[in-house]
Structure 1
Amino acid sequence: MMWVDDWTPRAACRDAQPDQLFVRGAEQNKAKQVCSGCAVRTECLAEALDNQIEWGVWGGMTERERRALLRRRPNASWRKVLEDARKGEGVRAL
């Protein structure tokens, strides 16, 4: 599967209201469901991690989940990490 640079038009949430993805608590689990079958979930997650986006559900991960990844690899190029993981190279890097 190739990396999609212009991923937003293909996102499962493209027609969702922003309020559905920028929620707190248990509502985040509902927001994550929108991401579950998304074709560009990995690209979305890389965008959030590389730009240290603090709010909302991105790529199927909550703010807390993304912060945990950023603490583990603060200087990583998440696009590269996730591209390599997608190819099966460096799955352990996560």
Structure 2
Amino acid sequence: MSWVVDWTKHAVCRKTDPDELFVQGAAQNRAKAVCSGCPVRAECLAYGLDNRVEFGVWGGMTERERRALLRRRPTVASWQRLLQTAKAEYEKRSVRSSTSRIA
């Protein structure tokens, strides 16, 4: 699935009570589990990182995890661009890999 601009329509959490995504402590693991199979997880994470969202789980990462990532990669100007490129490369490799297995 290529990059989705209007990703919120496709988010698995759309059908989840928002209060379950903005939690503390061990409850964050349940919130992260909602993200695990989401088709727009990368788009959601990019939104959370680019907008420096301070609360809740976004793209499978807690606020603490996102903050640590931002500290480790301070030169990233656009997380959307970085994650969009990474997702496209992953999808290209996946197609090549599955094509070579068929041949």
* TM-score in terms of structure 2 length: 0.81
**Runs ≥4 in structure 1, deviation > 3 angstroms?**
none
Report what 1:36 is aligned to: 36
Report what 1:85 is aligned to: 86
8 Å contact kept, 2:2–2:87: no
Report what 2:64 is aligned to: 64
Report what 2:95 is aligned to: none
Rounded Cα–Cα distance in structure 2 between residues aligned with 1:58 and 1:5: 16
Q: Which has the higher helix share?
A: 2
8 Å contact kept, 2:12–2:38: yes
1:17 alignment partner AA: D
Once the two structures are superposed, what CA deviation does each residue of 1:1-38 show, in whole Å capped at 9, x if it has no partner?
31100000100000111110000000000000000000
Percent identity of equivalent pairs: 65
> Aligned with 2:13: secondary structure?
coil
**Structure 1: gaps of 5 or more residues:** 90-94
Larger-Rg structure: 2
Work out the number of aligned pairs and report it.
89
**Structure 2: gaps of 5 or more residues:** 91-103
> Aligned with 2:2: secondary structure?
coil
